Amino acid sequence: MVPHLCYEDTKIQLSDNAGKHDSYRKDLYSGRQLQDIVPEKCNVTLYKLWKQETYYGQLSSDANFWRYQTQPQIVLTNELALELSLRGCKRLFSSLYYYKAGRMGPITIQDAYKIMCRPYCLENDELHQKAMLASGCSCIELSTPSDDVSYTKEGDWCYHNTGRLLCDMLGYCGIWDCRLDDFMCPRYEWNKKYIDYKGPGTCVRGAATKRSTLVIELMVLATAIAHFLLW
């Protein structure tokens, strides 16, 4: 069983850059809902229609994600992309867990950051949110019904969020006490964190470099002041 560690135990600091996002993630990861023509109530039929639509996301041209790049007759649908991104993200978490086990000490929050910022995991969250927006359903409503033969637990679809995968598979859990039906809440909490030597949870490029440069400059300044006082 993976021990749970709250973010506060890992010395993760709030990021001043948490509100700055690149164009790819500025809507999904800003903590705001994407606005479009959203059904007033849950419509599972719309969800099924959305799943059959062709996927044109950022991983559609990635041969590692979809091996049938040269076979256009085999269509990559949203349903397949949803399943592949979730499976790929879980595999990354599992690989990290088993690779680090008993080898080089505990899994650090920096290790977790690398997985949280991988395209499979980012696309996993985006596709799930697009599915909810297309159908007007919550993650609870899109979960496996209790009378289904494949039912395992309440809200199984909600547990696909990367923030919950991080908690369940690596033991790094937040402190926001997110409701199960609030799909993006765990990821939003992660996005508000600043991971030392890496950057903000939003995975914005360059933010870590800017922070590291500032830290170095402050250390140099502190050293110069100390030498001046001793002299």
pLDDT at 148: 94
**φ and ψ of 190, to 5 deg:** -60, -40
Residue appearing with tokens 């250390």: 219
CA distance 31 to 183: 11
Instruction: Answer whether 178's CB lies under 8 Å from 169's CB.
Output: no
pLDDT in tens, the chain (231 residues): 555 666 554 433 333 333 333 443 444 444 444 434 567 799 999 999 999 999 999 999 999 999 999 999 999 999 999 999 999 999 999 999 888 766 667 889 999 999 999 999 999 999 999 999 999 999 999 999 999 999 999 999 999 999 999 999 999 999 999 999 999 999 999 999 999 989 999 998 665 445 555 555 565 566 656 655 666
Domain that holds residue 146: 5-230
The number of domains in the chain is 1
Strand partners, 14: 193
pLDDT at 227: 59
pLDDT at 218: 60
pLDDT at 29: 45
In the sheet with 13-14, reading across from the earlier edge strand, the strands are: 13-14, 193-195, 199-200
Instruction: Answer whether 82's CB lies under 8 Å from 126's CB.
Output: no
* Number of C-beta neighbours around residue 94 at 10 A: 13
pLDDT at 117: 96
Residue appearing with tokens 């599972």: 44
Instruction: Answer whether 100's CB lies under 8 Å from 93's CB.
Output: no
